[in-house]
């Protein structure tokens, strides 16, 4: 059981951390969310529960944890600008600065979408099928395509209109 968990942990930790980071833009919050998600997974394994799709299960836990966290404190999450940057730094400080600025702009634009629209885009980007997205977000599969199409259009329009100089 522990071996299974360890395999799952090593396989998905980075991806789960990444997803948590795209929601929170905070290394500390991402660590906490990821750790909590895996603790819950381990508890399920210890109870003898078989989880067929641990990846989707972990994403769902992260989404729920993030929503609860976000609802508790409505204050704007401070963005940690001193996030892990690539250690093998082929980037100059100027490039890093531009990357951070771009990231913050995209994060702002995404937060202007509704939570469903933002979540659907992130899950789509991470390679989930429409059926998986529908299950993760508790929506009908037939609605996913419509919502996704609308969300992508909305986001790209916002980004191009406001910050086209960064995205040419």
Partner 1 sequence: MNCLTREETQKYIDNELSADMHNCISNHIKSCDICKGLHSEVLKDVKQLHKYLQVFQVDTESIPPVENIINAQKTSVFTTPVFIKSIAAIILILVTLSILIPYFDKPDRITESEWIVNNLLNDNDPNKQWNDNQILITITNSSDELVLSFALDNSDKINK
φ/ψ bin of 21: left (φ > 0), alpha (ψ from -120 to 50), beta (otherwise): alpha
Q: How many CB atoms lie within 10 A of CB 105?
A: 16
Q: How far is the CB of 63 from partner 1 (least distance, A)?
A: 16
Task: List Cβ neighbours of 153 (8 Å cut-off, separation of 6 or more).
Answer: none
Nearer to partner 1, 112 or 129 (CB): 129
In the bound complex, what is the minimum distance in angstroms from residue 97's beta carbon to partner 1?
Answer: 13
E-only strand ranges, 9-162: none
Binding site residues, partner 1, CB under 8 A: 2, 5-6, 9-10, 13-14, 17-18, 21-22, 25, 27, 30-31, 35, 38-39, 42-43, 46, 83-87, 99, 102-103, 106-107, 121-122, 124-125, 129-130, 145-146, 148-149, 152-153, 155-156, 159, 167
């Amino acid at each position: 059981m522990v071996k299974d968990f360890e395999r799952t942990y090593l396989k998905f930790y980075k991806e789960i951390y990444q997803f948590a980071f795209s929601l929170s833009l905070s290394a500390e919050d991402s660590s906490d969310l990821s750790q909590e998600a895996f603790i819950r997974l381990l508890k399920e394994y210890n109870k003898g529960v078989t989880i067929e799709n641990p990846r989707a299960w972990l994403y769902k836990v992260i989404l729920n944890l993030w929503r609860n966290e976000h609802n508790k404190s409505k204050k704007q999450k401070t963005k940690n600008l001193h996030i892990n940057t690539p250690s093998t730094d082929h980037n100059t400080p100027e490039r890093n600065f531009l990357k951070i600025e771009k990231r913050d702009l995209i994060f702002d634009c995404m937060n202007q979408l509704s939570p469903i629209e933002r979540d659907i885009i992130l899950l789509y980007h991470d390679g989930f099928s429409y059926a998986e997205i529908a299950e993760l977000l508790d929506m009908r599969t037939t609605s996913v395509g419509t919502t996704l199409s609308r969300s992508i259009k909305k986001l790209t329009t916002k980004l191009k209109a406001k910050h086209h100089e960064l995205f040419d």
